[in-house]
């Protein structure tokens, strides 16, 4: 019953999306006011129905209802409750349902609260949202029904993929989806604005919180995903330029460019066409990413059950949604009036450079990700990795970071270099000192050296815009910007130090042996079997001391799951303020010793700390923007009532 209720809710939600589309379309015409009034309620009820369907899916997973095919294939009765529930979205069908649910809820929210734009533009926006949604409903209902039953329920399910039985991973997909789907809202706004030719600062102001929200989720999702792959895969790396990682990075890059250009449009009424195009591009990156992951046309560590019909379906959605939007854009771009002009040396000028460099990096990642596909079409199999991505993207990241240091200091419209000379020189001095210090202390490779130099300059300059301003009267958004920019410096510092100074040790150690890695002395005290809820493991007890100090215990495991049968290495990490000791227990060698993989990674945690700071800054900016909006609305309402009173 539960599964049928969920399926029923899903069909009804799809029907409402169809109604929303038709009503929004016909409501645009003269005499369509009655139909137009249906649009907002339809979006709201659709959100509720989708939420209901998703709750039903959670329910069948929580109860391990083995008459549902998806549960049989992706869960088991002996998994802990949290992973049973996370199992609901740890698979293709469930994650698509999560996707459409977030999308419907976001659509319902704009229908409920957004009243600033002309009603026609809102109708077009909600219509576009319904149109995109319908494609995904069709995909779910016709090609990936999450509620399908099995004819003969088995005694137990196949179990959840062991690698996914981890709290970090349980939260990773929902976070990223919030980001991807938030960009669909930006997309709908862009299409709505194009259809009604209303590319105004108001449009940018309305769209901005959604981009910012999506961007925060993407930032945190990427940060969490990176940390997860770092400690779960047991390879000690935090970014592999894997196609799926790139699939989440590309929308992030586009979203970063988008909210910077949207802020130019909101404050200065410039960059109109460019902002619209980025709105389309950002969501198309989400969809291309989804396509690359689900169709299985690229080889990746992220294995989804690959099915060509799914790939075809998403490709069709991609062609219709993005192709349609780009065609509309090509038709309308010429009719959008040019916005305000500005001098090259101005806040706008700096933001244009930010946009150009971000787009260039986006292009580099896109080309690198798709290049293997292109050569495969000519019968050549290649893989593209760090030797391409790192140096080539650094060519554009370097000017971007230099502009990031100076841009926030500049005034809108026109500025002179003389006015910002002091703070710019301070930042440059910090960078040069860092460069010399690192150069003298240790000879390291060019890229990490460049990274450390830029990190020092950006860190100092991040807080320059706050100079001489009263902290109490500082807008929250400006404060958020400073924190985000500082977060970039922190993350860059972590990446550069980790790249340059990591010490790695691969060794075979007997019980009682001591291994030195960097400043650490690590002793293998024992190896013993342990049992978990659905696994058994060999646990190595390591006693580690930092520069001869007190001993800390680490327990890396070599874990064997029985449903499905698979062995994973559970790394054990010891975090100090200045880095992490990373330990992995391997196989037993013939002579009875144990393979140990040890890394000392100085300041590696700064990478994710920086990511969190970037997201936190975004959150502050979002709160600041929304608070200002709420205040403005209240003031507008008050003046409206006062006017009405006076008129009376």
Partner 1 sequence: MKGVRWSLWILVAFVALLGLFALQLSRPKHDQVDSAMIGQPVPPFALAAAVPELPGLSTADLADGQPHLLNVFASWCIPCAAEAPQLAELKRQGAPIVAVAIRDRTEDLESFFQRYGNPFSRVGKDDTSRIQFLIGSSGVPETFVIDGKGVIRHQHIGVIGPEDIPDLMARLKAAGR
Residue closer to partner 1, measured from CB, 241 or 291:
291
Binding partner 1 by CB under 8 A: which of 63, 167, 305, 312? Answer: 312
Binding partner 1 by CB under 8 A: which of 112, 374, 442, 445? Answer: 374
Of 150-158, 247-255, 306-314, 480-488, the segment contacting partner 1 by CB under 8 A is 306-314
CB 633, min distance to partner 1, A:
34
Residue closer to partner 1, measured from CB, 148 or 327:
327
Q: Distance between CA 176 and CA 170 in Å, rounded?
A: 11
Contacts of 635 (CB under 8 A, 6+ apart): none
Of 246-254, 315-323, 560-568, 634-642, the segment contacting partner 1 by CB under 8 A is 315-323
CB atoms within 10 A of CB 380: 9
Residue closer to partner 1, measured from CB, 165 or 284:
284
Maximal CA-CA distance, the chain: 97
Of 21-29, 118-126, 310-318, 345-353, the segment contacting partner 1 by CB under 8 A is 310-318
When asked if residue 54 is in the footprint of partner 1 (CB under 8 A), the reply is no
CA distances from 600 to 168, 236, 258, 498, 499 (A): 23, 10, 38, 9, 12
Positions in 123-182 near partner 1 (CB under 8 A):
none
User: Phi-psi category of 542—alpha, beta or left, where left has phi over 0 and alpha has psi -120 to 50?
Assistant: beta
Prior bond of 564 cis (ω within 30°): yes
CB 246, min distance to partner 1, A:
15
Backbone angles phi, psi at 524, to 5 degrees: -85, 105
CB 329, min distance to partner 1, A:
5
Residue closer to partner 1, measured from CB, 325 or 515:
325
Quick check: 59 and 85 in contact, CB under 8 A?
A: no
CB 122, min distance to partner 1, A:
25
Alpha-carbon dihedral sign for residues 609, 611, 617, 623: negative
Quick check: 348 and 271 in contact, CB under 8 A?
A: yes
Q: Which two tokens mark 44?
A: 């709201």
Residue closer to partner 1, measured from CB, 110 or 317:
317
State CA 122 to chain mean position distance.
27
When asked if residue 506 is in the footprint of partner 1 (CB under 8 A), the reply is no
Contacts of 475 (CB under 8 A, 6+ apart): 624, 628
When asked if residue 299 is in the footprint of partner 1 (CB under 8 A), the reply is yes
Q: Cite the DSSP H helix spans in 63-143.
A: 69-74, 81-86, 92-113, 119-138
Q: Distance between CA 207 and CA 224 in Å, rounded?
A: 26
- Total interface residues for partner 1 by CB under 8 A: 31
CA torsion, points 513, 514, 516, 522, in degrees to nearest 10? Answer: 120
When asked if residue 315 is in the footprint of partner 1 (CB under 8 A), the reply is yes
Q: Distance between CA 83 and CA 74 in Å, rounded?
A: 10
CB 486, min distance to partner 1, A:
34
Contacts of 56 (CB under 8 A, 6+ apart): 2, 3, 5, 6, 9, 147
CB atoms within 10 A of CB 242: 16
CB 243, min distance to partner 1, A:
13
Positions in 551-590 near partner 1 (CB under 8 A):
590
Question: What angle in degrees, to the nearest 10, is found between the helix axes of 92-113 and 33-62?
Answer: 140
Residue closer to partner 1, measured from CB, 41 or 311:
311
When asked if residue 296 is in the footprint of partner 1 (CB under 8 A), the reply is yes
Q: Distance between CA 354 and CA 122 in Å, rounded?
A: 30
Positions in 24-53 near partner 1 (CB under 8 A):
none
When asked if residue 319 is in the footprint of partner 1 (CB under 8 A), the reply is yes
When asked if residue 384 is in the footprint of partner 1 (CB under 8 A), the reply is no
CB 319, min distance to partner 1, A:
5
Of 34-42, 256-264, 290-298, 437-445, the segment contacting partner 1 by CB under 8 A is 290-298
CB atoms within 10 A of CB 142: 10
Quick check: 598 and 515 in contact, CB under 8 A?
A: yes
Residue closer to partner 1, measured from CB, 113 or 374:
374
Binding partner 1 by CB under 8 A: which of 5, 370, 392, 616? Answer: 370
Positions in 234-273 near partner 1 (CB under 8 A):
273
Q: Which two tokens mark 38?
A: 């249906």
Binding partner 1 by CB under 8 A: which of 38, 318, 435, 476? Answer: 318
CB 142, min distance to partner 1, A:
18
Of 220-228, 260-268, 313-321, 547-555, the segment contacting partner 1 by CB under 8 A is 313-321
Of 39-47, 69-77, 371-379, 507-515, the segment contacting partner 1 by CB under 8 A is 371-379
Quick check: 290 and 224 in contact, CB under 8 A?
A: no
Quick check: 457 and 427 in contact, CB under 8 A?
A: yes
CB 178, min distance to partner 1, A:
26
Residue closer to partner 1, measured from CB, 371 or 501:
371
Contact map string, positions 321 to 350, toward partner 1, x by CB under 8 A: -xx--xx-xx--xx-x--------------
CB 527, min distance to partner 1, A:
20
CB atoms within 10 A of CB 582: 26
When asked if residue 297 is in the footprint of partner 1 (CB under 8 A), the reply is yes
Residue closer to partner 1, measured from CB, 224 or 264:
264
When asked if residue 305 is in the footprint of partner 1 (CB under 8 A), the reply is no
CB 186, min distance to partner 1, A:
17
Alpha-carbon dihedral sign for residues 353, 356, 359, 361: negative
Residue closer to partner 1, measured from CB, 263 or 284:
284
Q: Distance between CA 117 and CA 278 in Å, rounded?
A: 20
Alpha-carbon dihedral sign for residues 508, 511, 514, 517: positive
When asked if residue 277 is in the footprint of partner 1 (CB under 8 A), the reply is yes
When asked if residue 306 is in the footprint of partner 1 (CB under 8 A), the reply is yes
Q: Distance between CA 130 and CA 37 in Å, rounded?
A: 15
* Binding region for partner 1 (CB under 8 A): 273, 277, 284, 288, 291, 295-297, 299, 306, 308, 311-312, 315, 318-319, 322-323, 326-327, 329-330, 333-334, 336, 370, 373-374, 376-377, 590
């Amino acid at each position: 019953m539960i599964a049928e209720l969920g399926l029923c809710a899903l069909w009804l939600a799809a029907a409402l999306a169809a109604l929303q589309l038709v009503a929004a379309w016909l409501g645009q015409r003269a005499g369509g006011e009655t139909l137009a009034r249906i649009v907002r309620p339809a979006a709201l009820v659709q959100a509720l129905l989708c939420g209901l369907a998703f709750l039903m899916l959670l329910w069948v997973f929580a109860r391990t209802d083995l008459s549902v095919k998806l549960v049989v294939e992706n869960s088991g009765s002996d998994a802990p409750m949290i992973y049973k529930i996370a199992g609901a979205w740890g698979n293709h069908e469930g994650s698509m349902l999560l996707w459409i649910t977030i999308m419907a809820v976001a659509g319902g929210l704009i229908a409920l609260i957004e009243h600033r734009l002309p009603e026609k533009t809102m109708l077009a926006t909600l219509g576009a949202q319904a149109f995109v949604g319908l494609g995904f409903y069709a995909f779910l209902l016709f090609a990936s029904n999450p509620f399908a039953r099995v004819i003969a329920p088995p005694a137990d399910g196949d179990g959840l993929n062991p690698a996914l039985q981890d709290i970090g991973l349980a939260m990773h997909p929902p976070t990223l989806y919030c980001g991807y789907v938030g960009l669909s809202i930006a997309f709908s706004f862009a299409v709505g604005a194009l259809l009604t030719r209303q590319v105004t600062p108001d449009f940018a102001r309305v769209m901005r919180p959604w981009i910012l929200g999506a961007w925060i989720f993407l930032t945190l999702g990427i940060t969490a995903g990176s940390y997860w792959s770092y400690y779960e895969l047991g390879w000690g790396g935090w970014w592999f330029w894997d196609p799926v990682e790139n699939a989440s990075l590309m929308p992030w890059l586009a979203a970063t460019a988008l909210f910077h250009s949207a802020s130019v449009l909101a404050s200065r009424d410039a960059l109109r066409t460019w902002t619209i195009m980025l709105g389309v591009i950002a969501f198309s990156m989400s969809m291309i990413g989804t396509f690359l992951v689900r169709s299985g046309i690229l080889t990746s560590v992220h294995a989804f059950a690959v099915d060509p019909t799914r790939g075809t379906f998403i490709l069709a959605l991609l062609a219709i949604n993005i192709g349609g939007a780009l065609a509309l854009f090509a038709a309308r771009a010429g009719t959008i009036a040019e916005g305000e002009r500005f001098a090259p040396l101005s806040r706008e000028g700096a933001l244009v450079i930010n946009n150009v460099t971000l787009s260039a990096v986006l292009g580099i990642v896109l080309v690198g990700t798709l290049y293997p596909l292109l050569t495969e079409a000519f019968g050549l199999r290649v893989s593209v990795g760090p030797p391409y991505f790192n140096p080539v993207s650094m060519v554009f990241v370097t000017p971007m970071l230099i502009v990031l240091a100076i841009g926030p200091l500049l005034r809108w419209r026109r500025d002179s270099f003389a006015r910002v000379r002091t703070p710019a020189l301070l930042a440059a001095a910090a960078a040069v000192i860092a460069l010399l210090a690192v150069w003298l202390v240790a000879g390291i490779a060019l890229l990490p050296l460049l990274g450390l130099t830029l990190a020092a300059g950006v860190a100092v300059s991040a807080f320059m815009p706050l100079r001489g301003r009263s902290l109490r009267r500082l807008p929250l958004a400006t404060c958020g910007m400073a924190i985000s920019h500082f977060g970039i410096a922190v993350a860059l510092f972590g990446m550069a130090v980790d790249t340059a100074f990591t010490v790695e040790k691969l060794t075979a150690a007997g019980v009682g042996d001591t291994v030195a890695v960097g400043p650490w002395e690590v002793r293998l005290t024992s190896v013993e079997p342990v049992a978990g809820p659905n696994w058994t493991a060999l646990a190595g007890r390591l006693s580690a001391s930092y520069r001869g100090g007190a001993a800390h215990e680490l327990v890396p495991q070599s874990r064997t799951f029985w449903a499905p049968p698979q062995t994973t290495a559970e790394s054990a990490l010891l975090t100090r303020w200045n880095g992490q000791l990373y330990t992995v227990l391997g196989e037993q060698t013939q002579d009875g010793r144990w393979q140990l993989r040890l890394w000392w990674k100085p300041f590696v945690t700064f990478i994710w700390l920086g990511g969190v700071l970037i997201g936190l800054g975004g959150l502050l900016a979002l709160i600041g923007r929304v608070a200002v909006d709420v205040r403005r609305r209240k003031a507008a309402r008050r003046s409206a009532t006062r006017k009405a009173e006076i008129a009376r």
